[in-house]
Amino acid sequence: MNPIAIIGGGGWGTALAITLARIERDVRLWVYEPYLVETMIATRENPLYLPSVRIPSAVRVSNRAEEVLAGVHIVILAVPSHVYRQVFSNMLPLLNGEMFFVSATKGIENETLMRMSEVVADVAKARFTPRIAAISGPTFAPEVARGEPTALVVASPDEQLRLFLQKELSVPRFRLYTNPDLIGVEISAAVKNIIAIAAGVVDGLGLGSNPIAALITRGLAEMTRLVVACGGRRETLSGLAGLGDLVLTSYGNLSRNRRLGVALGQGKDIEDVLSSTRMVAEGVKTAKSTVALARKLNVEMPIAEKMYAVLYEGLKPQDAISDLMERKLKEE
């Protein structure tokens, strides 16, 4: 089987490496921190991002990109969205047009409003035209790493590519469906994190189950409007990368975005919450790019707007909820 390179040693990248190594294939995992590489090799565990889950010996952990990328055909990119361009640019001299690129990152670049696959294409265009797909769906890294049943999608307009990746990346208890709508899958993956923060805020305020259900439903409507405005397909939102991921991230206790929202709803300062963990809550940075993109395309996204105001403009969470409930009455 073809060797696989996974770029990014956070929880998700490590979980993917563990999963794909279960069938004894050659998996290389690039980790940024040299000291963490040494620890992972010595203990076969990622104590910072995925503790208490053993990393199989089939996973080769390294900080040297040339070692990780040598001879591979599939490159999975699992670094946070705010360093995505920098990491890919640094590795570009080691990449080529024969490789298949898979984005496993959920976000929209703040500076350019590009989806992650667009960032790959933008960086690579001077040297080659990349074949790019994205994987997304309702996935918590610890559960995936433990081998609990997981279903997600691999998306690309290139049918041959998505069918190839479906076969190469599917392993027992890790099931991939194909989807041609790369735009819809990537936009959904990014925006659902903002809705999950809002759901956490409602929970943190102690407002009960009714408003959370309403918020998730209306959040899905916002996601749908933005996906369609960007050229994606409405039906994507009813699948794993849309509704599936939104429900998991909004309700699941392992959701970093939901936990952040809960803390904000309980009155904690956002800087204190963010500084207390190494984990990245992608919805914080994506709130900027999502709101900017929605304004650019004239798409109404009141929940995203209010979460942006809470995160960056000092709006109190309880006032954000009140503002949403007191908006002009309208048809669903």
Q: Are residues 26 and 160 in the same domain?
A: yes
Last residue of a domain, which of 131, 152, 180?
180
Q: Which of 199, 303, 313 is nearest to 248 (CA)?
A: 199
Q: Which residues are catalytic?
A: 192
What letter does residue 46 receive in the DSSP assignment? B
The DSSP secondary structure of 97-159, one letter per residue, reads TTSEEEE----B-TTT--BHHHHHHHHHTTT---EEEEEESS--HHHHHTT--EEEEEE-S-H
CA separation for the pair 112, 118 (Å, rounded): 10
| H-type alpha helices, 181-332 | 182-204, 209-229, 245-251, 256-265, 270-275, 282-296, 302-312, 317-325
CA separation for the pair 284, 198 (Å, rounded): 11
Q: Does 218 map to a domain?
A: yes
Q: Are residues 174 and 238 in the same domain?
A: no
Q: In the chain, which stretches have pLDDT less than 50? A: none
Q: What is the pLDDT of residues 73-99, one digit of tens each?
A: 999 999 999 999 999 999 999 999 999
Residue 282, pLDDT score: 84
Q: Does 331 map to a domain?
A: no
CA separation for the pair 71, 303 (Å, rounded): 45
Looking up residue 26, the CATH number of its domain turns out to be 3.40.50.720
Phi first, then psi, for residue 150 (nearest 5°) are -140, 140
Q: Are 193 and 257 in contact (CB under 8 A)?
A: yes
Q: Are residues 134 and 29 in the same domain?
A: yes
| Beta strand pairing call for 150-155 and 131-136 | antiparallel
Looking up residue 298, the CATH number of its domain turns out to be 1.10.1040.10
Residue 280, pLDDT score: 64
Count how many domains the chain has.
2
Q: Are residues 174 and 207 in the same domain?
A: no
Four-CA torsion 260, 78, 163, 59, nearest 10 degrees: -120
Residue 65, pLDDT score: 97
Q: Does 290 map to a domain?
A: yes
Q: Does 174 map to a domain?
A: yes
**CA distances to 29, 102, 115, 164, 275 from 155, in Å:** 22, 9, 13, 11, 34
Stretch (H or E) spanning 160? helix 159-169
Q: Does 330 map to a domain?
A: no
Q: Are residues 245 and 143 in the same domain?
A: no
Q: Are residues 171 and 57 in the same domain?
A: yes
- Residues in the chain, total: 332
Q: State the Rg of the chain over Cα.
A: 19
At a CB cut-off of 8 Å and minimum separation 6, what does 331 contact? none
Task: Share the mean pLDDT of the chain.
Answer: 95
Q: Does 24 map to a domain?
A: yes
Q: Are residues 16 and 136 in the same domain?
A: yes
Residue 85, pLDDT score: 98
Q: Are residues 149 and 11 in the same domain?
A: yes
CA separation for the pair 150, 189 (Å, rounded): 16
CA separation for the pair 212, 43 (Å, rounded): 41
Q: Are residues 173 and 198 in the same domain?
A: no
Last residue of a domain, which of 152, 180, 208?
180
Last residue of a domain, which of 116, 147, 180?
180
Residue 279, pLDDT score: 64
Q: Are residues 124 and 214 in the same domain?
A: no
Q: Are 74 and 47 in contact (CB under 8 A)?
A: no
Q: Which pair of structure tokens corresponds to residue 276?
A: 């207390």
Q: Does 185 map to a domain?
A: no
- Full domain range(s) for residue 240: 190-325
Q: Are 176 and 169 in contact (CB under 8 A)?
A: yes
Q: Does 149 map to a domain?
A: yes
Residue 147, pLDDT score: 96
Q: Are residues 201 and 168 in the same domain?
A: no
Q: Are residues 171 and 199 in the same domain?
A: no
